[in-house]
């Protein structure tokens, strides 16, 4: 039976942690003896994921929370629950990993009236980052890692299409949400320039998971199954998340986009400061927050 490695303990919250990249990263972090707060959409899948990790590491310091992050009320409730947990454990939050994502070929609306991919892939991470920022500020080197994709390089912000059913194409909506991940990361760092909290976007590469078959069908699902066979294992893709999470407080890098444990070149449209500022304003409005929402947070 595997044993837990003795490394400096961190407290890490990771969303989308019941399968694929999120499950692999949770397992690897648990193996290092970190305090892992993992999030899944429903209790059954959370229980299955926890059992899988504990089968390898019975003494894992692991807690699973349930939340459907397509709903903002559940994102807010998750933040409050996590803050309560951190208070009881007398811990700060060292790393937040915004990993949850979905891909859908048809237009779907959340309970908040928002397009599903934009809500899950971008707004959930935006809102959770804002709500947990105070706890990240308590860490010597708080980190916000957001899982994006190289597909952001082949798209620009189409403000008329964001969240719209007009001429909806699932792949375009997915790419826009991944571009939003980078623009959010850029704007977070601009607004947190005098803070020890740093934000990084991560390209995990092509991963051999089923994300492209869960809410699709026909030719799309067939194509994804064939393409994903060439992908990395979730454990290989998790390396960059682990690498960035374990960096010491005195580690410095001007880069904010990483792939394969090294800086990568973001797409040109991801470097637009006007788009980053505008997207921040739109995101805050859609989440019912003021533009200066980083001055607040959840105290638990």
Give me the active site residues, please: 174
CA distance 265 to 248: 23
**DSSP-based three-state secondary structure for 202:** strand
Cα 239 to chain centroid distance, Å, stands at: 15
CA distance 31 to 245: 14
Cα 4 to chain centroid distance, Å, stands at: 25
CA distance 41 to 43: 7
CA distance 158 to 212: 23
CB 94 within 8 A of CB 141: yes
CA distance 33 to 47: 20
CA distance 123 to 114: 10
Beta bridge partners of 143: 95, 198
Q: Which two tokens stand for residue 208?
A: 């051999």
Sorted by sequence, the CB contacts under 8 Å of residue 283 that are 6+ apart come out as 122, 123, 126, 180, 184
Sheet of 262-263: strands edge to edge?
Answer: 62-66, 35-40, 11-14, 95-98, 143-147, 198-203, 257-259, 262-263
**DSSP-based three-state secondary structure for 287:** coil
Q: Which two tokens stand for residue 175?
A: 């790419």
């Amino acid at each position: 039976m595997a044993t837990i490695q003795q490394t400096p303990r961190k407290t890490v919250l990771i969303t989308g942690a019941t399968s694929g990249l999120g499950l692999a990263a949770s397992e690897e972090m648990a193996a290092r003896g970190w305090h892992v707060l993992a999030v899944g959409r429903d209790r059954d899948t959370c229980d299955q994921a926890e059992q899988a990790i504990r089968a390898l590491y019975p003494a894992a310091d692991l807690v699973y929370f349930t939340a459907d992050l397509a709903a903002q009320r559940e994102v807010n409730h998750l933040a409050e629950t996590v803050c309560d947990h951190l208070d009881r454990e007398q811990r700060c939050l060292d790393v937040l990993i915004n990993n949850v994502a979905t891909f859908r070929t048809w237009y779907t609306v959340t309970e908040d009236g928002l397009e599903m991919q934009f809500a899950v892939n971008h707004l959930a991470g935006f809102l959770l980052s804002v709500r947990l920022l105070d706890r990240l500020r308590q860490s010597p080197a708080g980190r916000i890692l957001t899982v994006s994709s190289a597909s952001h390089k082949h798209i620009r912000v189409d403000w008329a299409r964001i969240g719209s059913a007009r001429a909806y194409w699932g792949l375009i909506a997915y790419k826009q949400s991944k571009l939003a991940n980078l623009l959010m990361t850029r704007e977070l760092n601009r607004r947190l320039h005098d803070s020890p909290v740093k934000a990084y976007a991560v390209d995990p590469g092509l991963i051999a998971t089923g994300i492209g078959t869960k809410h699709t069908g026909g030719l799309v699902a067939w194509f994804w199954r064939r393409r994903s066979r060439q992908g990395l294992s979730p454990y290989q893709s998790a390396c960059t998340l682990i690498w960035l999470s374990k960096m010491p407080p005195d580690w410095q890098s001007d880069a904010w986009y990483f792939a394969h444990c090294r800086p990568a070149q973001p797409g040109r449209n991801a470097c637009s400061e006007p788009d980053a500022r505008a997207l921040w304003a739109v995101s805050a409005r859609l989440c019912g927050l003021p533009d200066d929402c980083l001055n607040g947070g959840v105290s638990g």
